[in-house]
A and B are shown apart, each in its own frame.
Chain A
Amino acid sequence: MLDLLLQTGLNALYSASYISLVAVGLVLIFGVMGIVNFAHGELFMAGAYVVVALYSGFKLPYLLVAAIGLIFVGCLGLLMERTMFRPLRTNPLGGLVASIGFLMILQALASMTFGVRMAFVPPVTQEVIEFSERVRLPVQRLYVILAAFGFLTLLWLFLTKTRFGWALRASAQDPEAAALQGISINQTAKIAMFIGAALAGIAGVLTAPLISVNPHMGHSVIIAAFIVAIVGGVGSLEGAVVASVAYAFVHTFVTTFFDGVIADITGLSLMLIVLIIKPTGLFGTADRA
């Protein structure tokens, strides 16, 4: 029994890692631009297909593919900012609708280029760390955990220790007051979109060898990310990380001991309970909700 608990805990830690990468990007974009990016799951998918194309296809080294995936998906974010969100700056509903359109375009492009069926990604490593006979951690999963930890730490350092980080947070809290300090919303929007998209992309790159890569893979992760963003308190990055961990643990444990559908229901129910008790989410403040 202890083995099972430990094993499930490791699985949960792995889920928490990639969900938090996706959710933090979603929250960052919402915080700075006030737009709910429905295409965020498809940015995750795009990262996975970079692996399909360059790692499965062209057999480039995985680390190089990861770097390319990060930058490529970050640039998709810049493209979205420039072509959709900037012209729709004063129209958050328009931005939301445009992001749904972008979601469909990315899905269609993936289907046309790679087919609708699951794409094959060869394992990056077959190694498994065996803590005991029944507590095992595949090294690829360890990579996901470590990378999430690393990228979230980098993001935190960027946001708290650099002038562009302060600018990003200032502009999320009060865009007009930020403009009075010389911080242009176009500039911070670009940074937020690049980082947010790149984090989703790297999550896709990291998980591609571990999950089913297909044009619709963004769905389940975006639902998890939405729940986590809402529970954490929309606009709170710390909240998103804490809620990712909580959600992943609940979801993974319920899946293991009951089944996946019950886990989804439990996740949504917990979100409702949190919202009833604290409508602004765990870490949220009233003004952005």
Chain B
Amino acid sequence: MLLEMKGAAVDYGRVSAVRDISINVEEGSVVTIIGGNGAGKTTTLRAMSGLARLSRGEITFDGKRIDNLPADKVVGLGMAHVPEGRRIFPDLTVEENLRTGAFLRRDKVAVAADLDKIYAKFPRLKERRSQWAKTMSGGEQQMLAIGRALMSDPRILLMDEPSMGLAPVIVEEIAVIIEELSAQGMTVVLVEQNAELALELADYAYVLETGNLALEGPAKELHDNEHVRAAYLGI
């Protein structure tokens, strides 16, 4: 297992946000966590990348305990997190945003090569490389957030609702990007409210309900599950 979360719980003060969460992510797979608003998806992802502390349980990445590491150390191990709401740096240029994603990497040649790759993948970022990031559209900002995460040369990509607030055409583009990344061997943890999209992209899925894991299984099976269809797919 590349990433393992075991019996994890996160509290905000005295309020429990998620509890007893166990999630396994196999190298090269796409795992999705779906659930309604406030179910605890973001909290789970934040715990993985070190932004939220566990009150119980543990997380191992490539066999190494990471639940006590701060976020700025976790990324160095190869975990990149595309946060909810994109969180690009508004007053940095597009290129500065991307280069900031490679902050911990010292190999300038490899960084330059990755920058070229990202510009090839997202031509619009290249066109706008010297613009302020805040001047870009929502879809472009999401591409930038993904590009910035890829610039750290991660082994696993955590994505928190990449489709949020975007037009269907753009959502389709993002889906294609995730498929391509996966085809190239990237391990992905995808958090989505858009269950239809998530189950289509993922190999394995977890369903979170009010802070608890309600269901898990291969994405195809969950797609046919009565409860999932009724509650999340609106069928």
Tell me the A residues contacting B by CB distance below 8 Å. Answer: 163, 166-167, 169-170, 173-174, 176-185, 285
**Chain A contacts for B139, CB-based, 8 A:** none
Does B92 sit within 8 A of A, measured CB to CB?
yes
Does B47 sit within 8 A of A, measured CB to CB?
no
Count A/B pairs, Cβ under 8 Å: 72
Q: A177-B83, A180-B51 are in contact. Are A163 and B103 (CB under 8 A)?
A: yes
User: Which of B2-10, B93-101, B175-183 has 4 or more CB atoms under 8 Å from chain A?
Assistant: B93-101
In the complex, what distance in Å separates the CA atom of A246 from the CA atom of B220?
Answer: 65
Interface size class on chain B is 20 to 34
Q: Is there contact, CB below 8 Å, between B75 and A177?
A: no
CB distance from B218 to the nearest CB of A (A): 30
Query: Which applies to chain A's interface (DSSP): helix, strand, loop or mixed?
Result: helix
Q: Looking at the complex, which one of A167, A173, A179, A181 makes contact with B70 (CB distance below 8 Å)? A: A179
Does B217 sit within 8 A of A, measured CB to CB?
no
In the complex, what distance in Å separates the CA atom of A185 from the CA atom of B148?
Answer: 19
**Contact digits for B58-102, partner A, Cβ 8 Å, 1 yes 0 no:** 000000000000111101100011010001111110001101110
**Chain A contacts for B87, CB-based, 8 A:** 174, 176-177, 180
Q: Is there contact, CB below 8 Å, between A174 and B89?
A: yes
Does B152 sit within 8 A of A, measured CB to CB?
yes
Does B104 sit within 8 A of A, measured CB to CB?
yes
In the complex, what distance in Å separates the CA atom of A279 from the CA atom of B73?
Answer: 38
Q: A174-B87, A176-B51, A176-B87 are in contact. Are A181 and B103 (CB under 8 A)?
A: yes
Per CB-CB distance, the 8 closest pairs between chain A and chain B, nearest first, are: A182-B104, A177-B87, A179-B71, A184-B72, A182-B75, A179-B72, A170-B89, A173-B89
Residue of B nearest to A161 (CB): B96
Q: Is there contact, CB below 8 Å, between B72 and A170?
A: no
Does B49 sit within 8 A of A, measured CB to CB?
yes
30 residue pairs of the A-B complex, CB under 8 angstroms, read A163-B99, A166-B92, A166-B99, A166-B100, A166-B103, A169-B89, A169-B92, A170-B89, A170-B97, A173-B89, A173-B90, A174-B87, A174-B89, A176-B71, A176-B83, A177-B83, A177-B89, A178-B100, A179-B50, A179-B51, A179-B72, A180-B75, A180-B83, A181-B72, A181-B100, A181-B103, A181-B148, A182-B73, A182-B104, A183-B103
Q: Looking at the complex, which one of B71, B96, B99 makes contact with A180 (CB distance below 8 Å)? A: B71
Residue of B nearest to A236 (CB): B91
Most chain A beta-carbon neighbours within 10 Å: one of B51, B71, B76: B71
Q: Is there contact, CB below 8 Å, between B103 and A180?
A: no
**Chain B contacts for A181, CB-based, 8 A:** 72, 75, 100-101, 103-104, 148, 152
Most chain B beta-carbon neighbours within 10 Å: one of A163, A169, A176, A177: A177
Q: Is there contact, CB below 8 Å, between A183 and B100?
A: yes
In the complex, what distance in Å separates the CA atom of A139 from the CA atom of B70?
Answer: 51
**Chain B contacts for A285, CB-based, 8 A:** 90-91
In the complex, what distance in Å separates the CA atom of A180 from the CA atom of B80?
Answer: 7
Q: A163-B99, A163-B103, A170-B100 are in contact. Are A180 and B49 (CB under 8 A)?
A: yes
In the complex, what distance in Å separates the CA atom of A170 from the CA atom of B92?
Answer: 7
In the complex, what distance in Å separates the CA atom of A184 from the CA atom of B149?
Answer: 16
In the complex, what distance in Å separates the CA atom of A144 from the CA atom of B70?
Answer: 43
CB distance from B134 to the nearest CB of A (A): 8
Q: Give me 14 other A-B pairs in contact (C-beta within 8 A), A166-B99, A179-B51 excluded.
A: A167-B100, A169-B91, A169-B96, A173-B89, A174-B87, A176-B51, A179-B72, A180-B49, A180-B72, A180-B149, A181-B100, A181-B101, A182-B72, A182-B103
In the complex, what distance in Å separates the CA atom of A142 from the CA atom of B75?
Answer: 48
Residue of A nearest to B97 (CB): A170
In the complex, what distance in Å separates the CA atom of A173 from the CA atom of B148?
Answer: 15
CB distance from B173 to the nearest CB of A (A): 22
CB distance from B158 to the nearest CB of A (A): 9
**Chain B contacts for A178, CB-based, 8 A:** 89, 100
- Which chain B residues numbered 83 to 135 have a C-beta less than 8 Å away from chain A? 83, 87-92, 96-97, 99-101, 103-104
In the complex, what distance in Å separates the CA atom of A185 from the CA atom of B75?
Answer: 14
**Chain A contacts for B49, CB-based, 8 A:** 180
Q: Is there contact, CB below 8 Å, between A173 and B72?
A: no
Q: Is there contact, CB below 8 Å, between B72 and A166?
A: no
CB distance from B207 to the nearest CB of A (A): 26
